[in-house]
Amino acid sequence: MNAAGKPTRQAQVAIEIPFYDLDSVNVVWHGNYPKYFELARCALLETFDYGYDAMRASGYIWPIIDLQVRYIKPLVFKQRITVDAMLREWEYRLKIDYIIRDATTHARLTKGSTTQVAVDMKTKELCLMSPPIVFERLGLPQ
């Protein structure tokens, strides 16, 4: 977070819930929520030009080591939602928080987070600190 306590970067995507994401009781199956987070995460990473292609090109992969989801209200067919992704930590890992809201009422429906760590592609070693490319792309001192 910056000095004002705000996320360093954030992005938002809009989604209309498709039929094939529903379960047998006509709400979004719980396993589809990470997919919605992923769409927002990709948009967020692109805000500082460090999407998955750029990660690979820089010599690092960033596996998700933790995923948290708090279901507040179910999502339903054809509901329009927004998914906000906010970068909260970057020094030792990428910690991203998410909020899913109804696009019309703005009611909060779900919140969650993911944690990703850098792994050197050549050595397969976990990095104990984010590589310099992250700080460079964010325009921050290391």
Instruction: Write the CATH number for 99.
Output: 3.10.129.10
The tokens describing 72, both together, are 């507040």
Is position 23 within any domain? yes
Cα 52 from Cα 71, distance rounded (Å): 27
Residue 4 counted as domain residue: no
- CA–CA separation, 95 vs 116, rounded Å? 7
Domain span at residue 129 reads 9-138
Residues 23-55 pLDDT 10s:
999 999 999 999 999 999 999 999 999 999 999
* Confidence (pTM): 0.93
pLDDT tens, 72-89?
999 999 999 999 999 999
Domain assignment present for residue 1? The answer is no
Q: How many domains does the chain have?
A: 1
Closest of 72, 86, 79 to residue 103, by C-alpha = 79
Q: What are the pLDDT digits (tens) for 71-130? A: 999 999 999 999 999 999 999 999 999 999 999 999 999 999 999 999 999 999 999 999
- For residue 3, being part of any structural domain is answered with no
In a domain, residue 43? The reply is: yes
